[in-house]
């Protein structure tokens, strides 16, 4: 009667529940931002320990909100990769124990497929019948991934290309750290970029020969060099000027990132005769990128911002797709870190 989804791939402990028609019943997320913020990034050992503390509470709360009992759950979907091994093991072992005790199927879900599934959540329902958008290009942008994928239906993926070095979300975090703006980098850079007034700086773009591939390490280095030139090596600069320079640099970085993501995605969509681009992952919550995509002639589909970052609901949605196709794997065969099911 319902699918329960568990997500623990990184630093969010999350559980979402949907019924077999795709109606959303609950979505609970316990964030660890305050735990990792002092370090400027995720500390895997701390993340694993926090998952152990939070997972029982999160699942219990999700069930309570859904007004269901454990006996109403038809199957459990759980993220089994990619992600931090220690974090994944907490969620996977919890899910295995719960499915075994309830004697219900366990579905291993690829984290990336979960993010893509979030694009099909409309208001309070996961839409399993949006077949008119296929074929389409999926741009997956997060802290660990930057990929372009060709989708022919809900269960058909072809990986076209990805980043050669830094993921775009990773670049946001590192540039934010360079500027001393804090963690996580995406929201804070977006906030500071809005304060830019002159917008005179232009950072380089790595176009590469293949439109399907990305590179952000050079942009990160260029941002660092410009920060040292304008701020750290400038002995005469005052506090007000420092704030202005940081906002200008944040804006220039954000523009360079969005320019590459949008231009390459549109080129690839045209190459494969696709009329729609799905944009998912944590970086898809960035308001500047969303606005720039929406101004283009090609249609872009974003999840609601609250569904862009890691959550259990997207895992439940993907689990529902597999459940309806009876793609159930024995729990002892579900291991950590599978590959995306691409051709």
According to DSSP, the β-strands at 2-7 and 75-81 are parallel
What's the rounded Cα separation, in Å, for the pair 197 and 12? 35
Residues near 136 by beta carbon (within 8 Å), at least 6 away in sequence: 150, 151, 269, 274, 275, 276, 277, 278, 301
Could you state, in order of their start, the residue ranges of all structural domains in the chain?
Answer: 2-130+306-333, 168-303
Asked if the domains 2-130+306-333 and 168-303 are classified in one and the same CATH topology, the answer is yes
To which CATH superfamily is domain 168-303 assigned?
A: ATPase, nucleotide binding domain (3.30.420.40)
Measured at the CA of 138, the angle between CA 119 and CA 208, to 5 degrees, comes to 145
Q: What pLDDT shows up at residue 343? A: 44
Give residue 327's pLDDT.
Answer: 81
Per-residue model confidence (pLDDT) at position 214: 97
- How far is residue 314's CA from residue 280's CA, in Å, rounded to a whole number? 11
Q: Is the pTM of this model over 0.85?
A: yes
The answer to whether the beta carbons of residues 119 and 302 sit under 8 Å apart is yes
Does the structural domain 2-130+306-333 have CATH classification 3.30.300.30?
no
Q: What pLDDT does residue 118 have?
A: 97
The CA-atom distances, in angstroms, between 214 and each of 47, 126, 161, 169, 175 are 29, 31, 8, 13, 17
Q: Determine contact, residues 173/295, Cβ cutoff 8 Å.
A: no
Q: What is the pLDDT along the chain (343 residues), one digit of tens a residue?
A: 899 999 999 999 999 999 999 999 999 999 998 999 888 889 999 999 999 999 999 999 999 999 999 999 999 999 998 999 999 999 999 999 999 999 999 999 999 999 999 999 998 999 988 889 999 999 999 999 999 999 999 888 999 999 999 999 999 999 999 999 999 999 999 999 999 999 999 999 999 999 999 999 999 999 999 999 999 999 889 999 999 999 999 999 999 999 999 999 999 999 999 999 999 999 999 999 999 999 998 999 999 999 999 999 999 999 999 999 888 776 666 666 555 555 4
Q: With helix as H, strand as E and coil as C, how does the chain read? A: CEEEEEECCCCEEEEEEEECCCEEEEEEEEECHHHHHHHCCCCHHHHHHHHHHHHHHHHHHHHHHHCCCHHHCCEEEEEEECCCHHHHHHHHHHHHHHHHHHCCCEEEEEHHHHHHHHHHEECCEECCCCHHHCCEEEEEECCCCEEEEEEEECCEEEEEEEECCCCHHHHHHHHHHHHCCCCCHHHHHHHHHCCCCCCCCCCCCCCCCCCCCECCHHHHHHHHHHHHHHHHCCCCCCHHHHHHHHHHHHHHHHHHHHHHHHHHHHHHHHHCCCCEEEEECHHHHCHHHHHHHHCCCCEEECCCHHHCCCCHHHHHHHHHHHHHCCCCCCHHHCCCCCCCCEC
């Amino acid at each position: 009667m319902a699918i329960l989804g568990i997500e623990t791939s990184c630093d969010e402990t999350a559980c979402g529940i949907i019924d077999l028609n795709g109606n959303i019943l609950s979505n609970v997320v316990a964030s660890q931002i305050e735990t990792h913020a002092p370090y400027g990034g995720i500390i895997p050992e701390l993340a694993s320990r926090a998952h152990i503390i939070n997972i029982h509470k999160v699942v219990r709360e999700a069930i309570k909100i859904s007004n269901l009992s454990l006996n109403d759950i038809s199957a459990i979907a759980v993220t089994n990769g990619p992600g931090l091994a220690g974090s994944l093991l907490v969620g996977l072992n919890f899910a295995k124990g719960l499915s075994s005790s309830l004697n219900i199927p366990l579905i291993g879900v690829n984290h990336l497929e979960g993010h893509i599934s979030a694009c099909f959540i409309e208001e309070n329902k996961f839409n399993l019948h949006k077949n008119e958008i296929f074929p389409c290009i999926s741009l997956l942008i997060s802290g660990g991934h930057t990929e372009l994928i060709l989708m022919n239906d809900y269960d058909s993926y072809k990986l076209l290309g990805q980043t050669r070095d830094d993921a775009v979300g990773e670049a946001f975090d590192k540039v934010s750290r360079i500027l001393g703006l804090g963690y996580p980098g995406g929201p804070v850079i977006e906030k500071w970029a809005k304060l830019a007034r002159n917008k005179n700086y232009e950072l380089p773009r790595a176009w590469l020969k293949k439109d399907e591939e990305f590179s952000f390490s050079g942009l990160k280095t260029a941002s660092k060099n410009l920060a040292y030139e304008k701020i750290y090596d400038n002995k005469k600069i005052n506090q007000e000027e420092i704030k202005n320079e940081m906002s200008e640099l944040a804006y220039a970085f954000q523009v360079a990132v969005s320019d590459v993501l949008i231009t390459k995605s549109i080129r690839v969509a045209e190459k494969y005769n696709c009329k729609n681009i799905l944009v998912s992952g944590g970086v898809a919550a960035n308001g500047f990128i969303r606005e720039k995509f929406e101004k283009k002639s090609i249609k872009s589909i974003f999840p609601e911002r609250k569904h862009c970052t890691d959550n259990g609901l997207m895992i439940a949605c993907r689990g529902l797709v597999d459940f309806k196709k009876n793609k159930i794997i024995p729990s002892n065969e579900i291991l950590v870190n599978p590959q995306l099911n691409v051709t």
